[in-house]
Structure 1
Amino acid sequence: MRWCLITKVVAAMSSHSVRLDKFLADAGVASRSMSAGLVRSGRVRVDGTVVRAAARKISPSSSRVELDGNGITELPVLLAYNKPLDVVSTMRDNHGRADLSRVVPASWRGKFHPVGRLDADTTGLLLFSSRGDLTQRLLHPKHAVEKEYVADCEDARGCCEEDAVPTPRRCWRSNDAGMVSCDYGSS
């Protein structure tokens, strides 16, 4: 199985207040500017009341938002993908290589984007998110989300270019299988 839906996500993401147009865009209703138009046209209700101000702040965890009478949920969706060898971690590759557009079901394209990257010659877990703010939270160093990588190397000689490899603050052997964990800090 290459795809798996992850239903439990970072709960703290829904405790903040957010602009109504951004909420609608993050929920996949429309782009932010189109969402603002939907609000201005009176098609959006918050807690049963028509709202025409796209900049109105709402609390995603407690506000009930409806578009044309249909409830909108903000919960981000994460998909786990077991990326195979020889697939580049981009939705479109201009060089003719196999890319993610060939493996992402057509109905999901435009709704999900990859969280990070794996090299074409690497296999493993690649997350896809429906929300840009969740992707930012997972990737930006200021949030210090721990990432763990395991590499099997054949005939490894241990040669690294100093300029190409970030210097970790500390590294430690995680287990006897050769897993090494590194803390790069927040920069």
Structure 2
Amino acid sequence: LVVQASFDGEQLATDPVEHKEQPQFSTELAWELDRRTLHQHRLQRTPIKLQCFTVDSVSKRRESVGYIVLDLRSVQEVRQEPRWYPLLSSKYTKQRPALLLGLLLENDTKTSEPSPDRFKAKKAPPRQGQLGHGCLFALFQVRETSPASLSLGWNISLFVAAVCWIFLTSSDNLMSLYLSDKW
């Protein structure tokens, strides 16, 4: 499985993981923008498209599992609760996968080069209760960076924390567990 994110003509993807009941991703995908460019993308309603693919390890052939289109205008500077986004055009019609996404715009005043340790992958919360249909779990972060120059930069980060192909019977339990982990 691979999750690919497209924004402003640039495509970034997670490393492939084994296609199983509860595949795990620990990946951050990021785009940097200045304030004016971010404003233009919001005015033009530039989408962020997330696509999930199965990849044949021998032939490298990709098959779409589904996709999500996110509106950049919905990203706020205040922390919002993550919510489930079902994958569109999913090949799994009975057990439709979904992404759990939290969107956030943060002010980052660091002027140094970003280090690989800046974003750490978090483990998926423990899954409790009865298991049911398909889901995909991810965290979306948008970070504002402030370089040494006067103009502010924006760093849009997609952090895919974990993936599973089964829903918890109560997705509210998973969301509250995840929020208590202070994502």
Q: Which has the higher helix share?
A: 1
- Higher relative contact order by CA 8 Å / sep ≥ 6: 1 or 2? 2
Which structure: larger Rg? 1
Shorter-chain TM-score: which interval? Answer: under 0.3
